[in-house]
Amino acid sequence: MSPRRVTLADVAKAAGVSRTTASLVLSGRGRELRISQDVEQRVVQAANELQYRPNIVSVGLRTGTSRTIGFISDTVATSRLAGDMIKGALEAARERGFMLFIGETEGDAELERLLLQAMHDRQVDGLILASMFTRTIKVPKSITAAPAVLLNALPEQPTPLPAILPDEVEAGRRAARVLLDAGHRDGIHLIGAGPGIGDVPPESVAAVERLVGIREALGEAGVKVAGGRTCPDWQPEHGFTATRDLLETARPRALICFNDRIAMGAYQALDDAGLKVPDDVSVVSFDDHPIASWIRPRLTTVALPHYELGRKAVDVLFTEIDNDDTDPDRPGDVHRVPMPLRSRESIASPSAAQSG
């Protein structure tokens, strides 16, 4: 096919030295092993002229490394979420000269096992186990063959693996504070979870933590949640029905929607009821999904930092790779990545209208 790759032997021959010498010079150990300036220069020049690049496969065989990390997620296709997370991981890895293997388990444990095997067979230097929505996962035990971190997930059983998660509690506080700052005190309703601390969809870490943050911040201001409705699935249609049902019995002044898709449904229900956002009802939400800036008025929302999560996962993974002396009994650190507020036009001060 193409002209054979340039090998170290070619460089050595061109420079008139042994492969050993060429290897020492090019791996930067020439100085410490007293290779002469003259030889060093000849080797470097030969390498440049021949455009030599070391074959990473060969290096991998000798050293057991591959300059590669594996990114295993339950799905890569849900919204742009996955894309941004992968992008962050990709860039952080590239900065260190590492490539990314992508794998998708679709929640299938057997597939996950095969994928881990395939990655180990390729001698990955580390693994990222990612979930596309924040939740607890069962960590496969074969994971211990290489350093690993959990991304957007917490282990069901205690493990020494570090976890990288969005700071959902603080996000909840932030959403609540936006309403408080605008002057809201009454008629604050939740759509997607709540009002009680137990009213959350199963397995959703995000729901629990956001709810905790919301209740904390409101509580500190002496404000009570007026009501809340749990949605079985956080999709627009459920946001719509939950809000429509709410409007039959109450006149909310502000809605905290548990994600942007729910908020979109809420917008539709408010519109049907002839209520204007933000003049009649303020709306704040979570995620910063692309639609948040497509719907009108544009939605104020607390953003999931997907890109940063991906970067952070790689950063933490590299510290794991570097100090290999981790205590297998100490549970892994949990790293929280801040969720920034995106202020848009869906919040206003409560008018002098009726409360609910």
Partner DNA sequence: CTCCGTTGCTAAATCGGGTTAGCGCCCGAT
Partner DNA sequence: ATCGGGCGCTAACCCGATTTAGCAACGGAG
Cα separation of 265 and 255, whole Å? 12
Cβ-based nearer residue to a copy of itself, 121 or 327: 121
Residue 54 interacts with DNA (CB under 7 A): yes or no: yes
Q: Which amino acid, 201?
A: P
Residue 48 interacts with DNA (CB under 7 A): yes or no: no
Cα separation of 70 and 48, whole Å? 31
Q: How far is the CB of 225 from a copy of itself (least distance, A)?
A: 27
Residue 45 interacts with DNA (CB under 7 A): yes or no: no
Residue 8 interacts with DNA (CB under 7 A): yes or no: yes
Q: Are 191 and 255 in contact (CB under 8 A)?
A: yes
Site for a copy of itself in 119-158 (CB under 8 A): 119-123, 144-146
Q: Are 215 and 183 in contact (CB under 8 A)?
A: no
Q: Which does 36 bind (CB under 5 to 8 A by kind): DNA, a copy of itself, none?
A: DNA
Q: Are 12 and 18 in contact (CB under 8 A)?
A: yes
| Contacts with 100 (C-beta within 8 Å, 6 or more apart), sequence order | 68, 69, 70, 71, 86, 89, 90, 93
Q: What residues pair up with 342 in beta bridges, in sequence order?
A: 301
- Look at residues 154, 147, 243, 280 and name the one whose alpha carbon lies nearest to residue 205: 154
Cβ-based nearer residue to DNA, 24 or 154: 24
* Total residues binding DNA (CB under 7 A): 32
Residue 296 interacts with a copy of itself (CB under 8 A): yes or no: yes
Q: How far is the CB of 204 from DNA (least distance, A)?
A: 42
Q: How far is the CB of 75 from DNA (least distance, A)?
A: 32
Residue 321 interacts with DNA (CB under 7 A): yes or no: no
**Alpha helices of the chain — where are they, by DSSP H?**
8-15, 19-26, 37-50, 56-63, 79-95, 109-121, 168-181, 205-220, 236-249, 260-272, 306-322
Dihedral, 107, 108, 110, 113 alpha carbons, nearest 10 = -20
- Look at residues 200, 222, 203, 223 and name the one whose alpha carbon lies nearest to residue 212: 200
Cβ-based nearer residue to DNA, 9 or 114: 9
Cβ-based nearer residue to a copy of itself, 45 or 294: 294
Cα separation of 240 and 253, whole Å? 17
**From 104, 112, 125, 320, residue interacting with a copy of itself (rule: CB under 8 A):** 104
Residue 141 interacts with DNA (CB under 7 A): yes or no: no
Q: How far is the CB of 120 from a copy of itself (least distance, A)?
A: 8
Q: Are 67 and 99 in contact (CB under 8 A)?
A: yes
Residue 84 interacts with a copy of itself (CB under 8 A): yes or no: yes
Site for DNA in 59-98 (CB under 7 A): 59, 61-63
Other beta carbons within 10 angstroms of residue 42's beta carbon come to: 19
Q: Which does 38 bind (CB under 5 to 8 A by kind): a copy of itself, DNA, none?
A: DNA
Q: How far is the CB of 41 from DNA (least distance, A)?
A: 10
Render 86-105 in DSSP notation, one character per residue. Answer: HHHHHHHHHHTT-EEEEEE-
Interface with a copy of itself by CB under 8 A: which range of 59-67, 156-164, 179-187, 205-213? 59-67
Site for DNA in 10-39 (CB under 7 A): 16-21, 23-24, 26-27, 29, 33-36, 38-39
**From 7, 35, 39, 60, residue interacting with a copy of itself (rule: CB under 8 A):** 60
Q: Are 35 and 21 in contact (CB under 8 A)?
A: yes
Angle at 260 between CA 257 and CA 263, to 5 degrees: 50
Q: Which positions touch a copy of itself (CB under 8 A)?
A: 1-2, 53-58, 60-61, 66, 68, 71, 75-80, 82-84, 86-87, 90-91, 94, 97, 99-104, 115, 117-123, 144-146, 236, 261, 264, 268, 290-291, 294, 296, 307, 324
Q: Which positions touch DNA (CB under 7 A)?
A: 4-9, 16-21, 23-24, 26-27, 29, 33-36, 38-39, 52-55, 58-59, 61-63
